[in-house]
Amino acid sequence: MDYDRLKHVVELSDRACALWDEIMTYRECIPTPFSAAEMGVMFVMVTRQGTQEAVDFLTLVRDEVKERARTGIGVVEKEKVRLFWDNIPLWYNMGLFNYFEKMGGVVVAETYSAAWSLRLDTEHPLEALAMKSLMSYPMVSCVSVNKRKEMVLKACRDYSIDGAILHRNKSCVPITLGQMDIKRALEEELGVPSVIIDADHMDDQNFSVAQFETRADAFMEMLLEKKGLGL
């Protein structure tokens, strides 16, 4: 076992997590410079952690997002509604996130963006990897509904969310559990309305585009009316 090599790899992984977390903080800006539609860049967090390539790539992404935030360049020309997406995205149709943009809506935050980011104790690499396996976001969400609810509420506060989309995911029931509690807490504690979308993050046969568009349109109309913006 090459422990020096292991320590170096863990340091690279921790650096990638730090960069990813920094990128996410810029999404708090109004208008947001980065939406869920671009979340495909997360692939490096899933497949390339512990490599210099991941650090270099995320550094470039960070610099671009930071500059867009500095100059006030948003995802859409006029951001009207800031949205939160709960649960895993629909990998076969990431364009769903762009659907809200026609009405000035942008998905500025989601639960899954934190799934692969956990800071590591680089001085104790073995223990750090063990803790990462135990405490990664999907694992936490599966064993503690209250913990997941707290994380959703915090994200909605941090990102100034106007409305939440709760993806009732047929292929990942554990992360879907507790959504009614989250829906109620969003309304009662933050005054944030939400809508439930029935779908499946892997199987497009369990998803109706027409049903999604009907619910999304009605939800956006309600949010715009609530903000006094209209269509």
**Identity of the residue numbered 202:** M
Indicate if the pLDDT at residue 230 is higher than 70: no
Q: What is the SS3 string spanning 72-109?
A: CCCCCCCCCEEEEEECCCCCCCCCHHHHHHHHCEEEEE
The helix (H) or strand (E) run that includes residue 152 is: helix 145-158
pLDDT of residue 142: 54
What percentage of the chain exceeds 70 in pLDDT?
Answer: 95
pLDDT single digits (tens) 3-35: 999 999 999 999 999 999 999 999 999 999 999
> Is CATH 3.40.50.150 what the domain over 3-116+125-226 is classified as, yes or no?
no
pLDDT of residue 148: 85
Mean pLDDT for the chain overall? 91
pLDDT single digits (tens) 154-186: 999 999 999 999 999 988 887 888 899 999 999
pLDDT single digits (tens) 119-159: 889 999 999 888 887 766 554 555 578 888 998 999 999 99
Instruction: For residues 211-216, give the mean pLDDT.
Output: 94
First to last CA, the chain: 62
Identify the CA nearest to 160 among candidates 2, 14, 27, 22: 27
CA 213, CA 121: separation in Å to the nearest integer? 44
pLDDT-based confidence at residue 200 (cuts at 50, 70, 90): very high
Cβ neighbours, 10 Å, residue 212 = 18
Indicate if the pLDDT at residue 213 is higher than 90: yes
pLDDT of residue 136: 62
Token pair of 215, please?
A: 């619910």
Token pair of 94, please?
A: 């990431």
Instruction: For residues 79-95, give the mean pLDDT.
Output: 93
Token pair of 36, please?
A: 């869920």
CA 61, CA 121: separation in Å to the nearest integer? 24
Flag the least confident range among 64-73, 76-85, 134-143, 216-225. Answer: 134-143
Indicate if the pLDDT at residue 76 is higher than 70: yes
CA 40, CA 36: separation in Å to the nearest integer? 8
Q: What is the SS3 string spanning 2-39?
A: CHHHHHHHHHHHHHHHHHHHHHHHHHHCCCCCCCHHHH
pLDDT of residue 116: 76
